[in-house]
């Protein structure tokens, strides 16, 4: 059956429309799927220098991070990266950011390895409400930073930790002056690092001597020649040899080290410290460049290489980097690559939080999601406070050795240097040394960091050409070359011999005042000054002194006069000594009288005769001229001890009086106030600071100050009475008095100064070495021996150094008086015991067998006194005619035979038959 309405043309049309129908049905199917899985895209702008090593690492790292995110979220979200080169013009950075925002519609911008670039891009991001993640941070955080750039996020720490670490390296090696080196950029700024470094160094008493500024290497047609000229100029005008590179491109650093090595500024006594922008790419530079940097110290931010995430990233990065940049020597990633990777990871996590949040996303919400990041990245923990990383970095010190480098110590602001990451927080911060061993080129010791003298360029030392006292410094102009002598020169030679290294030098005489001589060290006319230079506070502000090798102070010298007095004979003893001597003399006199009164006829008779005899006997012992006889053994004991006391007293008195009469007591005519009030003329050295000191501090009228030029002129001015006093520093006074000790006297050095020291330029390590040598010589007594040999060789005045002989006081003799007093008291006590026994015995004999009537104590005492005063010997002699010896001669008070005999029984002829023993003292 035929179908008349279907023709061949109709069949052809149906056949042609069938594919179109299939395509339409497929499109409908895809549309239904898209309704369920919509792909969203986040555009990320990156402003980096992709032509540099750092830029290449950052680009690869960001691409790897974006690819990882896209692979994990291929059906929901994708990241697209757009790269822009910042160029050298600041306006180009702004236009690049503006282009990324307006044309590429980026939601976030990252990169910018210079803070100036980051600040410009942040301003653009503020206007467009686009977050800006910066790979750079300011050296010091500006005030109100978050309010000024609310959309700015810093992925890097500021430079304060790096600068502090550099300062502590400088301190660890005792470098006092450094040279700051930095390459200028299109922004004409050092980002505040220079002021930050200066402040950090000042904490350790160091300073920046010179700022070595280079223009951008791209602006130089002959960078090597330019750098060489600058280095030669620097070598001529500076002394410091510690170079701190604050900021520089690797290209400029290559030229810098290559030319520095040619002129001898690498190695020997030079030291270099390089920043992280250089140390992070050391693995990628060729061997010739890194070998020229041998011995340099560098700083790197520490990051762990043991995590699985780092190992995965490392494998992928090296493979990709080698493929895209086969011309690069080393494919390993550095801190900049890791930071770029963590930046993309921060954005990725913010996007994931945005996806999980059903609310509508906004730029501000996206910024909040970025700032709320908290994860462990390749560089460490990633979190933000006030738009920046709160964690302080752990830094690693490296040392360039040969064609590579070794990693030394860790450093943190809290713990200082440490050999390991295990840092004990209880220990004190280590800032005095580096635990690790630094390998310096050609030396095992730390470089001095100073232009040390050589035979070709000796230490130029200024010496005072004309001094008032030539025992200190003397220049003999009659010889060729000039001959330098004196105590200061001798001390310098001793110190130089005590150094651990040779010190080539040359002396140059200077005919001028001391202030100008010191200033010539400050203006670098001289490297040092050797002479009698006093350490003063105002001088230490411009130069550096060594430890003083002699004490210094202001002393007043005046003509001396002998002190005379008609009462000089009283002065050997003090008044309390005279009083004590009189008391002990009277006490001894009374004891002698009491012991001799009963037995010795010379101490009997009328009262006035007894007093006269007793006084004469006691006083005559002072002169060894008495000849009275004593009867009692107790008296002899008292007299012997008393004679010993008298011998000591008379000998001491004679010695003290002789000293006072033989050695003149010299006294200043008047004090300083009298000199000023009386307008008296005074003399001083006009070339020293003493003249201005007398005017400005002590208040002398300038017209009353006489300038004295030589040592002998002082004596001449005194003799012709043109000056009443002379003001000399203590070392000069010692020399003057040593020569003229008999005619002049000095006051104590009331006004003290810093002493004599050698002068060097500020920061010179030679000054420190000299100070240590001076201390060693002083401790060994060598300086004192040298001072006596050169300054005070005369021994004539040694016995006359003390012109004020001290009188003898009671404190010197109280022990002697105590012995005499106790001895006399014991003898008195024994005599009283004997007297009481005899008194009782006689009472019993007189009363016989009759009963004794009671008597009062007073009557007993009166009876005993009468018994004593009437005389015991005469009565005893009447009652004992058979006794043929004197009782006192044989301890009669202890004999029982004597106690039984009545004193009335001794006849008078016993005394005549047996005379008493005598003590006759005759003066020899």
> CA-CA distances (angstroms) from residue 332 to 127, 378, 623, 758, 811?
38, 14, 109, 54, 89
pLDDT, tens digit (0-9, with 9 covering 90-100), for 197-229: 999 999 988 999 999 888 888 888 899 999 999
pLDDT of residue 752: 87
pLDDT of residue 11: 58
pLDDT of residue 314: 94
- Strands 543-545, 77-84: parallel, antiparallel or unpaired by DSSP? unpaired
Count the Cβ atoms, other than its own, within 10 Å of residue 693.
18
Handedness of CA 365, 368, 372, 375 (dihedral sign): positive
* Contact status, residue 208 vs residue 198, Cβ threshold 8 Å: yes
pLDDT of residue 705: 92
- Please give the Cα distance from 245 to 296 (Å, whole number): 11
**Euclidean distance between the first and the last CA atom of the chain, given in angstroms as a whole number:** 191
pLDDT of residue 517: 94
* Contact status, residue 302 vs residue 393, Cβ threshold 8 Å: yes
Q: 475 has which bridge partners? A: 484
Ranges of the chain with pLDDT below 50: 1-5, 26, 28-38, 426, 625, 664-668, 799-803, 871-924
- Strands 395-401, 297-301: parallel, antiparallel or unpaired by DSSP? antiparallel
- What backbone phi and psi angles, to 5 degrees, belong to 368? -65, -40
Contacts of 277 (CB under 8 A, 6+ apart): 54, 247, 248, 249, 250
- What backbone phi and psi angles, to 5 degrees, belong to 691? -60, -50
- Please give the Cα distance from 1 to 706 (Å, whole number): 154
pLDDT of residue 528: 95
> CA-CA distances (angstroms) from residue 560 to 202, 460, 485, 663, 745?
52, 44, 32, 12, 5
Across 37-136, the runs of DSSP E, i.e. the strands, are 40-47, 77-84, 108-111, 132-134
pLDDT of residue 589: 76
pLDDT of residue 644: 81
H helix or E strand, kind and range, residue 142: none
Q: Where are the alpha helices (DSSP H) in 372-412?
A: none
pLDDT of residue 10: 58
Half-sphere exposure (Cβ direction) of 641: Cα atoms closer than 13 Å: 24
Structural tokens at position 492? 């310098």
- Give pTM, 2 decimals: 0.69
pLDDT of residue 347: 93
Half-sphere exposure (Cβ direction) of 596: Cα atoms closer than 13 Å: 31
Q: What is the DSSP letter of 61?
A: H
pLDDT, tens digit (0-9, with 9 covering 90-100), for 125-170: 999 999 999 998 888 877 888 888 999 999 988 888 899 999 999 9
- Please give the Cα distance from 115 to 145 (Å, whole number): 13
| CA neighbor of 923 nearest in space, from 693, 683, 622, 652 | 622
């Amino acid at each position: 059956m035929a179908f008349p309405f279907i023709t061949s043309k109709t069949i052809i049309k149906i056949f042609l429309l069938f594919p179109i129908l299939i395509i339409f049905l497929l499109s409908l199917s895809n549309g239904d799927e898209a309704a369920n899985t919509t792909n969203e895209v986040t555009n990320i702008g990156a402003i980096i220098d992709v032509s540099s090593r750092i830029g290449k690492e950052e680009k690869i790292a960001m691409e790897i991070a974006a690819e990882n995110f896209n692979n994990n979220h291929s059906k929901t979200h994708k990241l697209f990266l757009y790269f822009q080169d910042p160029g050298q013009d600041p306006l180009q950075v702004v236009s690049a950011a503006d282009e990324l925002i307006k044309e590429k519609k980026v939601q976030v911008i990252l990169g910018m390895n210079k803070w100036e670039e980051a600040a410009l891009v942040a301003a653009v991001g503020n206007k467009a409400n686009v977050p800006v993640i910066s790979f750079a941070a300011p050296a010091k955080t500006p005030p109100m930073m978050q309010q000024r750039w609310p959309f700015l996020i810093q992925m890097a720490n500021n430079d304060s930790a790096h600068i502090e670490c550099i300062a502590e390296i400088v301190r660890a090696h005792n470098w006092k002056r450094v040279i700051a080196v930095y390459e200028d950029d299109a922004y004409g700024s050092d980002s505040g690092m220079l002021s930050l470094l200066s402040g950090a160094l000042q904490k350790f008493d160091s300073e920046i001597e010179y700022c070595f500024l280079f223009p951008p290497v791209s602006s130089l047609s002959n960078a090597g020649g330019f750098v060489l000229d600058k280095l030669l100029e620097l070598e001529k005008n500076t002394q410091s040899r510690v170079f701190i590179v604050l900021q520089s491109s690797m290209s400029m650093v290559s030229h810098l080290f290559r030319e520095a090595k040619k002129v001898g500024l690498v190695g020997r006594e030079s030291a270099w410290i390089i920043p992280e922008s250089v140390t992070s790419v050391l693995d990628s530079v060729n061997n010739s460049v890194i070998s020229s940097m041998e011995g340099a110290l560098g700083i790197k931010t520490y990051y762990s290489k043991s995590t699985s995430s780092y190992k995965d990233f490392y494998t992928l990065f090296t493979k990709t980097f080698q493929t895209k940049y086969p011309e690069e020597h080393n494919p390993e990633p550095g801190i900049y690559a890791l930071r770029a990777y963590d930046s993309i990871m921060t954005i990725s996590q913010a996007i994931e939080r945005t996806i999980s949040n059903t609310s509508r996303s906004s730029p501000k919400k996206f910024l909040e999601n970025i700032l709320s990041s908290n994860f462990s990245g390749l560089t460490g923990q990633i979190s933000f406070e006030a738009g920046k990383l709160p964690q302080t970095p752990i830094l690693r010190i490296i040392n360039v050795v040969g064609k590579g480098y070794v990693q030394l110590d860790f450093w943190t602001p809290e713990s200082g240097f440490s050999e390991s990451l295990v840092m004990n927080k209880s220990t004190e911060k280590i800032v005095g040394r580096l635990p690790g061993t630094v390998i310096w080129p050609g030396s095992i010791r730390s470089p001095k960091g100073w232009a040390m003298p050589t035979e070709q360029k000796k230490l130029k030392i200024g010496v005072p050409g004309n001094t008032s006292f030539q025992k200190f410094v003397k220049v003999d102009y009659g010889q060729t070359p000039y001959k330098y002598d004196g105590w200061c020169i001798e001390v310098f030679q001793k110190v130089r011999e005590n150094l651990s290294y040779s010190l080539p030098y040359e002396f140059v005489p200077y005919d001028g005042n001391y202030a100008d001589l010191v200033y010539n060290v400050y203006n670098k006319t001289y490297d040092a000054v050797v002479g009698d230079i006093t350490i003063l506070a105002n001088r230490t502000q411009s130069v550096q002194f060594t430890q003083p090798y002699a004490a210094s102070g202001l002393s007043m010298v005046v003509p001396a006069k002998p002190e005379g007095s008609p009462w000089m004979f009283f002065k050997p003893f003090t008044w309390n000594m005279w009083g004590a001597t009189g008391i002990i003399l009277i006490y001894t006199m009374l004891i002698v009288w009491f012991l001799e009164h009963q037995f010795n006829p010379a101490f009997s008779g009328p009262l006035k005769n007894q007093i006269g005899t007793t006084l004469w006997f006691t006083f005559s012992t002072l002169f060894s001229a008495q000849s009275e006889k004593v009867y009692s053994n107790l008296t002899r004991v008292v007299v012997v001890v008393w004679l010993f006391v008298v011998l000591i007293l008379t000998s001491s008195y004679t010695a003290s009086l002789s000293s006072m009469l033989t050695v003149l007591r010299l006294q200043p005519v008047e004090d300083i106030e009298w000199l000023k009030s009386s307008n008296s003329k005074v003399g001083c050295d006009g070339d020293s600071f003493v003249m201005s000191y007398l005017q400005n501090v002590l208040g002398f009228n300038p017209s009353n100050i006489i300038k004295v030029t030589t040592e002998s002129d002082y004596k001449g001015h005194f003799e012709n009475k043109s000056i009443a006093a002379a003001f000399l520093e203590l070392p000069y006074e010692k020399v003057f008095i040593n020569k003229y000790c008999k005619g002049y006297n000095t006051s104590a050095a009331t006004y003290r100064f810093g002493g004599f020291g050698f002068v060097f330029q500020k920061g010179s390590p030679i000054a420190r070495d000299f100070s240590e040598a001076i201390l060693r010589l002083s401790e060994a007594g060598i300086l004192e021996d040298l001072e006596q040999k050169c300054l005070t060789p005369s021994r004539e005045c040694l016995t006359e150094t003390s012109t004020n002989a001290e009188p003898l006081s009671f404190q010197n003799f109280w022990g002697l008086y105590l012995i005499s007093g106790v001895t006399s008291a014991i003898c008195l006590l024994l005599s009283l015991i004997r007297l009481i026994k005899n008194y009782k015995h006689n009472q019993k004999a007189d009363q016989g067998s009759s009963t004794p009537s009671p008597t009062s104590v007073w009557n007993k005492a009166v009876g005993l006194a009468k018994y004593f005063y009437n005389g015991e010997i005469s009565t005893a002699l009447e009652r004992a005619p058979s006794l043929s010896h004197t009782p006192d001669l044989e301890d009669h008070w202890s004999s029982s035979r004597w106690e039984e005999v009545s004193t009335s029984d001794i006849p008078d002829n016993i005394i005549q038959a047996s005379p008493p023993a005598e003590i006759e003292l005759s003066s020899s």
